[in-house]
Amino acid sequence: MKQLIVIADMEGASGIFESNQAALYHEELFPDHNAWRNYGRKCITSDVLAVCRAARDMGIDDILLYDMHFAGCRESNIELEKLPALVRTFDLTNRECWWSRIRGQAAAEPYGIITVGQHARNGEPDAYFPHTIHTPPIESFYINGHHVAEIGTAVMCFSDVPYLANIGCAASHKEALELSPDVSCISVKDKAKKWEPSFDETYPLIYHETIRALKDYSRKSAYPSQSAYLCELNLSADFCFAIPKTFPFKGSFEERTVRWEAHDIETALSLFWYVQAYFQKCKP
């Protein structure tokens, strides 16, 4: 069985720009907006559909999809009924981002991973909606010296799995290439070049470039698993940690920085959520 992991976000989807960014606002949290349902879902669905059809046509027989945009909201951003029958979603309560549960449901050795609808990290220039998981309060997040955001956490969670393609905002490719220099980079919009095509225009581009990436499979590489994972999370201005007297991991807190160490990536990413309990607004 050839199992493909597809990790989808939405800020990097085709057809969504600053001019219509309300299309990103999930209806469960922003009930007064209707652009998400009427337009935004069509954008990310088109991108994911192009990837899944290309994968199916190239002999992939099992696709596991994680839709991570506004994790915690019940309804999917992707119109799942429009996807091919071989696509399955991870069993997660309200699509919550628990990487250990996500990795545990996949095959021991998936065929590959593709990231789609991806945006750049906080601080990247010429990017659409750049942020690092939750910015603010998170300014930056490092794992073993890699400045990572949503792309990095997904690819590292699937360490040793060939990273086939990153699809999204042109500025997002910098993070992808730092994780695997052989990943295919498929841009659907480029702020630096003022290139803002519709999702109908990018559908054939994504389909054909995904085919090309799969044909080039023998040249693809994976982010390798490590014997230890050293993590550093830094808070943006106006935020600091309520430093605990004790904590159940090997690490340390400072006013705006926390560091920890784990022997496996699943534990390292689980602790990312643990330390968020100590975020607070700094007193003026």
pLDDT of residue 116 exceeding 80: yes
Asked if the model's pLDDT at residue 248 lies above 90, the reply is no
Closest CA to 138 of 156, 117, 153: 153
Whether the pLDDT of residue 283 is over 90: the answer is no
Give the integer Cα–Cα distance in Å for 180 and 221: 6
pLDDT(164) > 90 = yes
pLDDT for res 37: 97
As a whole number of angstroms, the distance between CA 240 and CA 281 comes to 6
User: Is the alpha carbon torsion for 149, 151, 156, 158 positive or negative?
Assistant: positive
Average pLDDT over residues 77-98: 97
| pLDDT on residue 34 | 93
Dist. CA 257–CA 139, nearest whole Å:
10
Mean pLDDT within 129-136: 96
Instruction: Note the pLDDT of residue 247.
Output: 81
Q: What is the pLDDT of residue 68?
A: 97
Decide if 232 contacts 197 (C-beta within 8 A).
no
Q: Which of 165, 200, 203, 163 is nearest to 186 (CA)?
A: 165
Residue 109's CB is within 10 A of a number of other CB atoms, namely 8
Instruction: Please name the amino acid found at residue 203.
Output: Y
Contact status, residue 148 vs residue 197, Cβ threshold 8 Å: no
Kindly tell me if the per-residue pLDDT of 245 is higher than 90.
no
Q: Residue 284 — very low, low, confident or very high, per pLDDT cuts 50/70/90?
A: confident
User: pLDDT, tens digit, for every residue of 19-66?
Assistant: 999 999 999 999 998 999 999 999 999 999 999 999 999 999 999 999
Q: What's the pLDDT tens digit per position in 177-211?
A: 999 999 999 999 999 999 999 999 999 999 999 99
Q: Residue 231 has which token pair?
A: 């993590």
What pLDDT does 246 receive? 84
**pLDDT of amino acid 71:** 96
Structure tokens at 71: 């994790």
Contact 211, 57 (CB under 8 A): yes
So what's the pLDDT on residue 26? 98
pLDDT the model gives residue 225: 96
Which run of H or E residues covers position 44? helix 41-57
pTM beyond 0.85: the answer is yes
Give ranges for CATH 3.40.50.10780 in the chain.
3-139+149-219
CATH number of 3-139+149-219: 3.40.50.10780
**Structure-token match 């400045």, residue found:** 147
